[in-house]
Amino acid sequence: MHFRRRAVLAGLFGLITAPALAQGLGFGLGMQDVVARARGQSLPLDGIATAPSEAFSFRRLKSTYTGPAMLLRRVSDNATQSINFLGYVPGLGAPIDTAAANAFCAATTCQIVVWYDQSGNARDAYQGDPPSQPTYVPNCIGTLPCARSVSGSEMIAPPTGGLSSAGNGTIDVVARRSSGTDFCLAVQAYGYGTGTPSRLFLNNDATYWVLDGGSGNALGATNNSLWHAGIGTIGPGSALRIDGAETAGTAVGAASTGYLRMMATFTTANCDHAEIIHWDGYMATAAERAALTTNQRSFWGIP
């Protein structure tokens, strides 16, 4: 009996490699997290043929990206430090090095100065004004961190090369409104010099929206206090997928060029973001939308 029990346990834990287990525990995951995530977790953008325009996350999104995750500023002394990703481990992915970040931020608060773009387009999100910098929050989504924006916080993705004038696009986020009742804005594209939003991904009350600043929209009902994986397409036949449910909308899209505002927060809300991916000029297919949200739900532990 004891032999059979040991054999069964060995078979179960044999699904989790020793390096994966060691690496998983090394970046602060508990045993339940390690077991839950040992499901062949892949890097999500490796399976998408069309490269995004910008990609930001607290995990590595693509195997070809070798740069850092973000630049943190320590509030206590204004010191800064780049934080990298851990190496990819099958079943665990490649999360941010939380041990390095938590050590740097110990006994003080850290804010995010630069959130590095993983798309290869060097469109890093930047905020040089300390009062407007999002806060690095450890243990925000399970044992992994997030970026928290409060009223007045936002990041700007520089308009290197500008946004497309095609009007179509895709916005993909892992986010929640952690407190308050106002809007949480994940991504907003502005036209040069006009200040007119051309594409939005917002959540307010119990609804996620993708809008074009006019009449076009797609709406998805959800609970804002919980984490969700949401992806919206902008253009003819727009759609909005929240976790496993998809809603069709009207034609959404307006031609523009410009830059991106990210994680802008309105008056009363605190908004948390773990992942933001944007395709300018490309509408993700239904299969790609499903694959992305499935991967995100698996990695981030979203039901």
What whole-number distance in Å separates Cα of residue 63 and Cα of residue 81?
23
In sequence order, the β-bridge partners of residue 239 are: 233, 248
Tokens of 2: 């004891």
Domain boundaries, the chain: 2-300
Query: How far apart, in whole angstroms, are the C-alpha atoms of residue 97 and residue 271?
Result: 22
Q: Cα dihedral sign for 230, 132, 51, 120?
A: negative
Sequence letter at residue 11: G
Rounded Cα gap, residues 243 and 251, in angstroms: 22
- Cβ atoms of 239 and 233 within 8 Å: the answer is yes
Rounded Cα distance between 111 and 80, Å, is: 9
**29 φ/ψ angles, rounded to the nearest 5 degrees:** -80, 140
CA atoms within 13 Å, Cβ hemisphere of 84 = 6
pLDDT (tens place) for every residue of the chain, 303 residues total: 433 333 333 333 333 332 333 334 444 444 434 433 444 478 999 989 999 989 999 999 999 999 999 999 999 999 999 999 999 888 789 999 999 999 999 999 999 999 999 999 989 999 999 999 999 999 999 999 999 998 778 888 876 666 766 667 888 989 888 877 777 777 776 654 444 555 555 555 556 666 555 555 556 655 667 888 988 887 777 788 888 888 776 666 554 566 777 887 777 778 899 999 988 888 899 999 999 999 999 999 998
Using an 8 Å Cβ cutoff, are 119 and 61 in contact? no
CB 280 within 8 A of CB 195: no
Among the listed residues 183, 216, 182, 188, the one whose alpha carbon sits nearest the alpha carbon of residue 201: 188
CATH of range 2-300; options 2.60.120.200, 3.40.50.2000, 1.10.1240.10, 1.10.10.10: 2.60.120.200
